[in-house]
Amino acid sequence: MKLKSYLGGQWCDGAGDGAALTDPTTGEVLARASTAGLDLGAGLAYARDVGGPALRALGYGERAGLLGAIADVLKANYAAYVETAKANSGNTRADADMDISGAIFTLKYYARLGAGLGAAPYLVDGAPEPLSRDGDFQAVHVQVPRQGAAIHINAFNFPAWGLWEKAAVSLLAGVPVVAKPATATALLAHDMVRDVIAAGVLPEGALSLICGAVGDLLDHVDAQDAIAFTGSAATAASLRAHSRILETGARLNVEADSINASLLGPDAGPDSPEFALFVREVVREMTVKAGQKCTAIRRALVPAGVYEAACEALAARVGRIVVGDPRNEDVRMGPVVNKAQQSDVLATIDALLTETRRLTGDPDGFAPVGADKDTGCFVPPTLLACDAPEEAAKVHEIEAFGPVCVVMPYKDEDAAWSLVAAARGCLVASVFTADDDFAVRTAQALAPWNGRLLFVGDSIGKSHTGHGNVMPSCLHGGPGRAGGGEELGGMRGLAFYHQRTAVQGAQALISRLSGNGGEQE
């Protein structure tokens, strides 16, 4: 099967064989995708010229209704999507559910948020400000939907959630979407868009899809376009330097890789509930989606006094993870996404081993359940220990995008904070502690380096949503190395697709503008 792209309101075929999309458990080629010969510039213009006006003709409330309708289509096809995710992404049922239900949950969240904004055609940002002594000359800030297209370039690890978390925000903002899933796992994104288009729930031009390489798409961006990229820091760097993006000033949001940390508090001894919660979370983060999560815990920081106990407890729990064919219900972790990713992860583990020792994950001495080790793209869950993290560099710099985590000791809280910061910017850090004073100090020390902080004590041991889970009401993105981007976060996510403008004038005009806009809070 060759995946088609959906551009200019029709499904179109790229030329040639294109790239293969495989089943990472069996090696079977499931589909191919090519964009060769497609007029991507015309597709982008169609989104801008047809989809944009159609979406902006609706208010936020009506656009919120579109998100609800998309969620209904996806829900109706949930079971088929799970099978696709198992096949093309090597997902277990739980992995697939995280991706697909996460997409539906995020669409529904933004549908609810948008419903509250009613028929307003734009947003009002703050109260009017008097600018003259008599008060008649005033200013108000408005946020109006941008008139370009939203280009969404996604990573391979969340073909469903990555597509819809971005689309939910830009469609609600009134900006048409041109989505480009990563080719390796584009099958699920393709099937979802196919079903949504077939259901006829969106205005013409509101949603386009590119299956295959990005081609010359970015040579056609224009000043009002907004590009939201998720992927590696290396690809992000090439986008930041793209001459057309620089020339036009089109917006670019980057969600890149990061070496996230989880910190066990100095108060948490081996018998404390926080210690047990930490061990559970680190191992869960290592193994969910075979560790292919941008938010996964890559570094586990523990007080020097419990380093040995933590290594033992983590290794024991990792040792219980059943790896193999994700269709087998006993299996807890499937393969990584393809052979290229497998070689990349194994090579990165070798590089990390120059500064660490291996606690678990012998690549030669393990046998995946129900699958052939050589044909499949398996990597055993690999726990490494770094005894002198202050002297190490790679453990803070290179990302093994797979089931890999490095445990390291810290001597005091200042040392712990410095180690977290050594990764130069992360999406998320978590802290397991019962000491609220330490937590408050740590929040201030870690916030400049992280987009999200999770503090877990016994009282929320069962109710917290996890280190790696991205909640639509909370910001997703991180400073520095993590890309400096901001996605989601409720209303905050809409800003990227709006132009904020200060409007100055007489009080009567400013009051009218304020009254007609949607309230942001």
Distance CA 300, CA 288 (A): 16
Q: Applying CB under 6 A, which of residues 10, 132, 238, 465 lies at the interface with ligand NAP?
A: 238
Active-site residue, 129 included: no
Residue 213 found at the interface with ligand NAP (CB under 6 A): yes
Q: Would you call 51 exposed, middle or buried from its count of C-beta atoms within 10 A (0-12, 13-18, 19+)?
A: buried
Active-site residue, 294 included: yes
Residue 82 DSSP SS3? helix
In the complex with ligand NAP, which residue's Cβ is closer, 22 or 183? 183
Residue 95 found at the interface with ligand NAP (CB under 6 A): no
Q: What mask of x and - would describe binding to ligand NAP in positions 327 to 346, judged by CB under 6 A?
A: --------------------
The pair of structure tokens assigned to 362 is: 């012998």
In the complex with ligand NAP, which residue's Cβ is closer, 63 or 180? 180
Q: What mask of x and - would describe binding to ligand NAP in positions 244 to 263, judged by CB under 6 A?
A: -----------xxx------
By the 8 A CB rule, do 262 and 419 touch? no
- Among the listed residues 439, 436, 518, 448, the one whose alpha carbon sits nearest the alpha carbon of residue 482: 448
Query: Which residues are CB-neighbours of 331 under 8 A, at least 6 positions away?
Result: 92, 322, 323, 324, 325, 369, 370
Q: Which of these ranges, 6-14, 227-235, 356-364, 373-381, lies near ligand NAP under the rule CB under 6 A?
A: 227-235
Distance CA 249, CA 244 (A): 8
Among residues 211, 285, 294, 311, the one annotated as catalytic is 294
Least distance between ligand NAP and beta carbon 86 (Å): 19
In the complex with ligand NAP, which residue's Cβ is closer, 156 or 438? 156
Q: Which of these ranges, 2-10, 230-238, 375-383, 459-467, lies near ligand NAP under the rule CB under 6 A?
A: 230-238
Residue 228 found at the interface with ligand NAP (CB under 6 A): no
Distance CA 269, CA 513 (A): 58
Buried b (16+ CB within 10 A) or exposed e, 57-77: ebbbbebbbbbbbbbbbbeeb
Least distance between ligand NAP and beta carbon 398 (Å): 10
Least distance between ligand NAP and beta carbon 212 (Å): 7
CB atoms within 10 A of CB 502: 10
In the complex with ligand NAP, which residue's Cβ is closer, 282 or 400? 400
Residue 13 DSSP SS3? coil
Among residues 165, 255, 355, 399, the one annotated as catalytic is 255
Residue 231 found at the interface with ligand NAP (CB under 6 A): yes
Q: Applying CB under 6 A, which of residues 115, 139, 214, 398 lies at the interface with ligand NAP?
A: 214
By the 8 A CB rule, do 73 and 225 touch? no
Q: In degrees rounded to 5, what are phi and psi of residue 299? A: -130, 130
Q: Applying CB under 6 A, which of residues 58, 140, 142, 427 lies at the interface with ligand NAP?
A: 427
Catalytic residue annotation:
255, 294
Residues that bind ligand NAP (CB under 6 A): 153-157, 180, 182-184, 213-214, 230-232, 235, 238-239, 255-257, 294, 399, 401, 427, 483
